[in-house]
Chains A and B, each alone.
Chain A
Amino acid sequence: MDIFLQQIINGLVVGSVYALIALGYTMVYGILQLINFAHGEIVMIGAMVTITCINFLIGHNVNLPGPLLLALGLAMAIPVTMLLGYLIERIAYRPLRKAPRLAPLITAIGVSIVLQQAAMMIWGRNYRAFPAILPSDVVEFGGASITTLQIAIIALSIVLLIGLFLLIERTKMGRAMRATAQSPDVARLMGVNVNNIISLTFMIGSALGAVAGVLVAANYDQAHAYMGFMIGLKAFTAAVLGGIGNLGGAVLGGILLGLIESIGSGYLGDLTGGFLGSQYKDIFAFLVLILVLIFRPSGLMGERVAERA
C-alpha cells in the first residue's frame, strides 16, 4: 500500500471539509472584518440536527436508502443553521457594527459559549454515533484505498464550491455581495440593501457549515457538543493561511491545511528520527502557518490589510 498516496487522499478529504468551513469565516470577514467565532458551533449544530433527524426517521421505520435519509436530515439541518446564522448576526453583531472592533469579538465568544452549552443541554455530554446508513465500500486506487464515502465527501465539496463561485461571480446577488465587501457605503449608494446582503452572507456560510459538519461527522462516525471549537479553529487557520477575506484563498488554505496535517502526521516521526511523533501534527500545521505569514504577512492570496486593532 502506498503510504504517501494514502496520506494525500486523507488530506484531500479533510481539506475539502476545512475549505467549506473556511469559506464561512472568510465570507463574513470579507464583509465585516469580524472573526465569527460562533461559526464552529454552527458546524456542530448542523451535524447534531442531522443525526437526530436521521435517527428519528430510522426510529419510525422509514425505509429509505441511506443517501436519501442523509438528504432529509440535511434538509432539516440547513434551515436550522441558516436561521441561527441570521439570528446571531441580528442579535450579537449588528448592534455593534460601529463599536470598537473587539466588542463584537467578545459577543462572538459569548454566542459560541451559549451555543455550545445549549447543545450540551439538548444532546448531552456524550459522543453521538453517526448512524450507519451510508455504504462504505473500499475502492483500491493505485496502491491506496479510498472509501465511497470519502469520494462522496470530495465530490460534494467540489459541487458546493462551484455552486458558491457561480453564485458570487454570476448572479446579481453575488455582485451585491462583492460590492458590499469592497465598500459598504458605496454599495448602499448604488442601491444595495447592505443589511440584507450581510444577513444572506451569514446564512450562506451557515448552510455550508452545516453540510461540512455532517461530512465531518460521517467521516469520523461520530459527533459531540465540543466538536465545533477545534474544527472551527482549524478552518479559521485555513482561512488565514489562504488570506482571510479571499474566497479562493479559503479553499486553497483549507486543502493545504488538510494535506499538511495528514502528511505531517504520517511522516513527522520519520523526518525527525522518531523524536517528534504524530501527536505533533497540530504544531506542524501552526508552524507552516507562522512561516507563511512571516514571508507573506497577509496570507497566500490575501491583499495587504490596513492596520486595525
Chain B
Amino acid sequence: MNLINSLPRKKGTLIAFCLLLLVLPWMISSGFQSGSSYLRALDMALLFIMLALGLNIVVGYAGLLDFGYIAFYAVGAYTYALLNSPHLQAMLPSWMMYPPFVVSIVICAIVACVFGIMLGAPTLKLRGDYLAIVTLGFGQIVRIFMTNLDRPINLTNGPQGINNILPPQFLGYNLGKPIEWFGLQFEPVHLFYYLILFFCALIIVVSIRLQNSRLGRAWVAIREDEIAANAMGINTRNVKLLAFAMGATFGGVSGALFASLQGFISPESFILMESIMVLSMVVLGGMGHIPGVILGAIIVSITPEVLRDVINPLQMAVVGRKVVDPETLRMLIFGAAMIIVMLVRPEGLWPSKRRRAELRPATKGIALQEKDDLQDAERNHD
C-alpha cells in the first residue's frame, strides 16, 4: 500500500505517462531524421537518471559531497565487461565467464557496493570540502588504475579499453540483434531502451522507498546536523557507509548497463568531468528531490545532444558561414546555460517543498510548510 501511496496521486496521469514512455522510442525514430542517434541519447539519459539518483542519495540525502562518483559507474562497467568479453577468457575459469545477464548485473552491483564501502570508510571523519577532494582523489585513482593496469598483468587493457562485450541475452533473445515481434521490427537501440527503462524504474522505486524509510530520514538528519543526529541515537558511521554503498550500487548497475549498451568501454568514459556532470544534474534539478533530480539528469544529458543538431544550421542562417567550431560553441552555450539556471533558481529547477520553503520563506510560513511535510511523512509511513 505504502508504495502506491507514495506515487503521484492521479493514477490516470501516471498510466498515461507510462504509456507515453513505452511508445516514446517509436515516436522519436519516426519523428526525426537522425532518430536513432536521438534514441541513443535517450538511452544515455536513462543511464544518467540512474547515476544522478545514486549520487542524490550521497549528496542530496546524506549531504556528503562526492566528486568521484563516476568511479562506481566505472567499476560496474569494467566488471560487466570483464565477465562478458573474451578479454580475460584465458585467465578466468570457464564457469565464471559469460554468466546469465541478471547474474552479471547482480555481481556488478555487489562489486560496486564493496568499492563504495571501501572508499567510504576512510573518509568518515572528513567534512565538507575535504571530503570532496578525497572522493575526487579516489575517482582519479580508480581511473589511473584502469588506464595503467595492462601491465604487468593485462587486466583492463589500458587506454585501448575492452571491446567485444557480449550484448545481454535472456529467454533466448539476444538484445544485440533486431527482433521481430507482432510485425514490429525492434532494433537493438529500442530493446536497450526498454531494458534500461525497466532498471531505471526499479531504481526510482527504490529511491522513493528509501526516502521515506527510517534510513532515509536518518540520512536527512545527518545532512542537517551530524552531531544532533548522533545524539538522537543514529549510528552515523554505519548510516554514512550505507549512503556510500547505496549510491555506489546504483552507479554499478548503471555502469553494467552502459557496458552492455556500448559493447566497448575505455577509461575515457570515466573522467572527472563526468563526475562533475552527474553532480550538476543533481544540483540543477533540485538536490534531494527525486522528480527534480530526474529532470536535471534529462536536461543536462539531452541539451548538448540537441544543441549538436541545432547549432550549425543556426550559425549558417545567422552568419551564413561556419565562423566557430560548432562543437565548441555547443559546450560554450551549455556552460552559460548552467550559470544562468543556477543564478535564476539557486535551489534547483524543481526543489522539494521543504527546501523551497527554507530558501524562500516569504512565499509561505516555514512552520506551516514543515507541518505539511510532517503530515506527508506520516501519511506515507503507515
A residues lining the B interface (CB < 8 Å): 29, 33, 35, 91-92, 95-96, 99-100, 102-107, 109-114, 116-118, 120-121, 233, 236-237, 240, 244, 274-275, 277, 279-280, 282-283, 286-287, 289-290, 293-294, 297-299, 305-309
Q: Knowing that A99-B347, A290-B122 are A-B contacts, what are 8 other residue pairs whose CB atoms are under 8 Å apart, sorted by A's residue number?
A: A109-B335, A110-B336, A110-B338, A113-B332, A280-B144, A283-B145, A287-B141, A289-B137
State in angstroms the CA–CA spacing of A100 and B225 once bound together.
15
A236 pairs with B141, CB closer than 8 A: no
Judging by beta carbons under 8 Å apart, are B347 and A297 in contact?
Answer: no
**Closest Cβ of chain A: how far from B349's Cβ, in Å?**
12
* Pick from A100, A107, A306: contact of B339, CB under 8 Å: A107
Main secondary structure of the interface of B (DSSP, over half): helix
Q: Report B-chain residues with C-beta under 8 Å of the C-beta of A283.
A: 140-141, 144-145
Other-chain contact of B331, A107, A117, A294, A305 (Cβ < 8 Å): A117
For the residues of A in contact with B, the DSSP-based class is: helix
Whether A112 contacts B335 by the Cβ 8 Å rule is yes
Nearest-CB residue, chain A, relative to B223: A309
Contact B122 A294 (CB under 8 A): yes
Q: Closest approach, in angstroms, between the C-beta of A84 and any C-beta of chain B?
A: 14
Q: Which residues of the partner chain B approach A92 to less than 8 Å between Cβ atoms? A: 339, 343
Question: B: which residues have CB within 8 A of A?
Answer: 59, 63-65, 122, 125-130, 132-134, 136-138, 140-141, 144-145, 147-148, 151-152, 223, 225-227, 272, 276, 279-280, 283-284, 287, 324-325, 328-329, 331-332, 334-339, 342-343, 346-347, 355, 359
Q: Which residue of B lies closest to A95 (CB)?
A: B343
Partner of A309, one of B65, B140, B343: B65
Residues in B neighbouring A306, C-beta threshold 8 A: 127
6 tightest CB-CB pairs across the interface, nearest first?
Answer: A113-B335, A99-B346, A110-B338, A286-B137, A309-B63, A110-B339
Q: Complex: how many Å from CA A272 to CA B331?
A: 42
Is A113 within 8 A of B331, CB to CB? Answer: yes
A233: chain B residues at CB < 8 Å are 136, 272
Task: Give Cα A296–Cα B129 distance, bound, in whole angstroms.
Answer: 14
Pick the contact of A297 from B127, B138, B328, B337 — CB < 8 Å?
B127
21 A–B contacts from the bound complex (CB under 8 Å): A33-B129, A91-B339, A95-B343, A99-B347, A100-B359, A103-B346, A111-B335, A114-B336, A114-B339, A233-B272, A279-B148, A280-B148, A287-B141, A290-B122, A290-B137, A293-B130, A305-B127, A308-B128, A309-B63, A309-B65, A309-B128
By CB atoms of chain B within 10 A, which of A99, A233, A279, A286 has the most? A286
Say yes or no: A275 contacts B152, CB within 8 Å.
yes
Residues of A within 8 A of B325 (CB): 120-121
With a cutoff of 8 Å between Cβ atoms, the chain A residues found around residue B137 in the complex are 237, 286-287, 289-290
CB pair B339–A298 under 8 Å, yes or no, is no
How far apart sit A297 and B59, CA to CA, in the bound complex (Å)?
Answer: 20
* Residue pair A35, B145 in contact (C-beta under 8 Å): no
Report whether A289 and B134 are in contact in the complex, using a CB–CB cutoff of 8 Å. Answer: yes
